[in-house]
Amino acid sequence: MSDALRATFRRVLRLENRRQVIRSGRIERISGFASGILGNAREITVYLPAGYDERDDRRYPVLYMQDGQNLFDSERAFIPGQHWRLGESADLAIGERTASPMIIVGVDNAGPARIDEYTPVRDAKHNGGGRADDYGRMLIEELKPQIDERFRTIPDDTAIGGSSLGGLVSLHLALQRPDVFHRAAVMSPSVWWSDRAVLGTVDAFDGPRPRLWLDIGGREGTEALTDARTLRDRLRAKGWKDDEDFRYFEDRRADHSERAWAKRARQVLEFLFPPA
SS3 of 70-97: HCCCCCCCCCCCCCCCHHHHHHHHHHCC
Report the distance separating Cα 142 and Cα 85, nearest Å. 27
Report the distance separating Cα 81 and Cα 76, nearest Å. 8
> In 10 A of CB 40, how many CB atoms?
15
The model's confidence at residue 127, banded by pLDDT at 50, 70 and 90, is confident
Between residues 184 and 81, the one the model is more confident about: 184
pLDDT of res. 78: 83
pLDDT of res. 276: 87
The model's confidence at residue 102, banded by pLDDT at 50, 70 and 90, is very high
At 195-253, the pLDDT tens digits run: 999 999 999 999 999 999 999 999 999 999 999 999 999 999 999 999 999 999 999 99
Beta-sheet strands, E only, within 84-207: 103-107, 122-123, 128-129, 153-163, 181-187
At 132-183, the pLDDT tens digits run: 999 999 999 999 999 999 999 999 999 999 999 999 999 999 999 999 999 9
The model's confidence at residue 125, banded by pLDDT at 50, 70 and 90, is confident
Residue 194, phi-psi category: left (phi > 0), alpha (psi -120 to 50), beta (remainder): left
Report the distance separating Cα 99 and Cα 185, nearest Å. 15
At 245-258, the pLDDT tens digits run: 999 999 999 999 99
Contacts of 31 (CB under 8 A, 6+ apart): 43, 44
Residue 217, phi-psi category: left (phi > 0), alpha (psi -120 to 50), beta (remainder): beta
Global confidence as pTM: 0.92
User: Residue 3: pLDDT above 80?
Assistant: no
CA dihedral 45, 50, 51, 54 (to 10 degrees): 60
For the segment 79-91, the average pLDDT, to the nearest whole number, is 94
Contacts of 96 (CB under 8 A, 6+ apart): 18, 22
Lowest-pLDDT choice from 52-61, 122-131, 258-267: 122-131
Q: What is the mean pLDDT of the chain?
A: 94
The CATH number of the structural domain formed by 25-272 is 3.40.50.1820
DSSP 1: -
The model's confidence at residue 72, banded by pLDDT at 50, 70 and 90, is very high
Percent with pLDDT over 70 in the chain: 93
The model's confidence at residue 58, banded by pLDDT at 50, 70 and 90, is very high
pLDDT of res. 45: 98
| Residue 251 phi, psi (nearest 5) | -100, 100
Sheet holding 60-65, edge to edge: 26-35, 40-48, 103-107, 60-65, 153-163, 181-187, 211-217, 246-251
Which residues lie across from 184 on neighbouring strands? 160, 212
Report the distance separating Cα 15 and Cα 7, nearest Å. 12
pLDDT of res. 121: 97
